[in-house]
Amino acid sequence: MSLSTEQSQRDRIKELSRKHVFTSWSAQGALDQLPLAGGEGAHFWDHEGNRYLDLTSQLVNVNIGYQHPKLVAAIQKAAGQLITIGPGFDSDSRAEAARMISERAGEGMSKVFFTNAGAEAVENAIRFARVHTGRHKILAAYRSYHGATHGAISLTGEARRLGSEPAIPGVVHFWGPYLYRSAFHASSEEEESQRALEHLRATITFEGPSHIAAIILEPVVGSNGILVPPPGYLEGVRALCDEFGIMLIADEVMAGFARTGQWFAFQNWDVQPDLITFAKGVNSGYIPLGGVVISDAISATFDEKPYPGGLTYSGHPLACASAVASMTIMEEEGILEHVRQLGENVLGPGLQALSEHPVVGDVRGLGAFWAVELVADRETREPLAADKLAAIGRACKDEGVWPLIMGNRVHVVPPCVITEGEARQALGVLGRALAAVS
C-alpha cells in the first residue's frame, strides 16, 4: 500500500475504535491510541512505517515475539482440523498442553484446569483452595494485581481495586517485602524478609488460621514494580502455609513461561506452590488461554465429588495447540537460557549503569523482567513527576523504542526473543531519555 492509503487505513481504524470500542482502564474521551499495522520478533510498526523496538511485550505477554513463523504455522494447521471441542469431550491438543505444562510445574502437580485468561485462572484457583480446605479467607498482598474479574480484583491490593468495591467476602490484605520503600523500616534484604514474614505470621494469627484457605502472591510482583523477593521470603511463606494448613497460590500469569529465565518464576527459589495460575506467556497471547496447575492433593478432593465450576471454552483446542507449539519453540530455540543470559549479561548490568542519572532511585529485576524506579530526589525518594515521566516516554518513542511506564517506573519487559544487540540499543535510548530529564 502507498503511504496515503496506509494513513487512510490508520484514520479509519482510529475513527471506528473511538466510536465503537470501549477500552479497558481508560477514560474514553481522552483516548488517542496508535493503530498497529504489523510486528516481527521484538518490533512492531504503525501504518506510517514507524518501527518500534518493544520494551512492553504488549501487556507483558508476547514472550515469544511477534508473528513467530512456527507458532503461526501451528495455529494454521490446528485451525484446519477440528477447530473447537467443548470440555465435555477429550482433545489431543488439550491433553498434550496439560501434560507439558504439568511436567514443567514440578513434582506432584499433575492436573491442569484451563481457562481463557489469567483473571479466570485466579478465580478458579481460590475456588479450588476454598473447596479443598473448607475455609473461606484468602490473604493477598497490597502491592499486587491479580486481574479484573470480581474475585480477582478483590484480591488485587493496588488502587485499581477501589472502583470495584465492595469486594468478595473473606479477602484480607497484607504487606509484602519491598526494601526500597520498606513498610518495616528494614535496612537490609535479610531484615526485610524477616520482618515481612513476622508481619504475615501476625496477620494469619489475628485472622484465624483455621479460617484461611490460601495465600496468593506473585513470586515476582509484576505491575506494581517488578519486586524480586528477598532471600528466604518465599520459602518462609511456604513454611507458614505448611504450619497452618494453608494453600499457597503462585500467580504466575505475568512472570511465567520464560519471563524470568524459568518456566515459572517460583523456580528461581526453593519453593513449590499448591496451585499455580498462568496465562500470557504460555502462548504469547496469540490466542486467549490461561489455567491453573493443581497439586495432586487438591485434585484428589474432586475424585469423587464434582468440581463446582466450568467454562464453555475451557481448554479450547486451538488455544491449546498454540501453547504446545509455544513451549516446544521455547525449548528448541533455548529461549529460557537466552533470557537468563540476557538478564545477567546485558539488561542487569546495563540498567544498573543507568544509576549514574540522578533521577534513577532503584533498579531491580531478573531475566527479561526489570524496573527502573525514578525519583525527583534520591534522599527523600519522592517519585518523579508525571510530566517528566511523559517526557521520557516521548524521547524513547522519538528514537524508535516503545517503553512501558507504570507509576514512577520504567518497566523493561521486552519480548524474550530480543537479541543482545537490540537490548543494548534500547538501553542506549533509555539512557539518553533519562539524561534529558536529569
Hey, what amino acid is at 346? V
Q: Compute CA distances 239 → 138, 141, 211, 236, 272, whole Å.
A: 17, 17, 18, 5, 11
* Chain segment 189-210, per-residue pLDDT in tens: 999 999 999 999 999 999 999 9
State yes or no: cis peptide before 166, omega within 30 of 0.
yes
148 alpha-carbon distance from chain centroid: 13
CATH of domain 34-67+334-437: 3.90.1150.10
Helix crossing, 386-398 with 420-437: angle to 10°? 140
User: In the chain, where are the structural domains located?
Assistant: 34-67+334-437, 72-332
* Ordered strands of the 275-278 beta sheet: 111-115, 290-294, 275-278, 247-251, 212-217, 137-141, 171-174
Distances, alpha carbon 392 to alpha carbons 55, 205, 410, in Å: 13, 45, 9
Looking at domain 72-332, does it have CATH number 3.40.640.10? yes
Which tens digit of pLDDT belongs to each residue from 27-85? 999 999 999 999 999 999 999 999 999 999 999 999 999 999 999 999 999 999 999 99
| β-strand partners of 290 | 115
**What cell does 407 get?**
507509576
Strands in 66-133 per DSSP E = 111-115
pLDDT at residue 2, as a whole number? 72
DSSP for 156-187, written as a single string:
--SGGGGGG-S--TTEEEE----GGG-TT--S
pLDDT tens digits for range 379-412: 999 999 999 999 999 999 999 999 999 999 999 9
pLDDT tens figures, 101-116: 999 999 999 999 999 9
Question: If pLDDT is split at 50, 70 and 90, which confidence band does 117 have?
Answer: very high
Run of H or E including 71? helix 69-79
CA distance 115 to 51: 34
Q: pLDDT per residue over 417-426, tens digit each?
A: 999 999 999 9
Q: pTM for this one?
A: 0.97
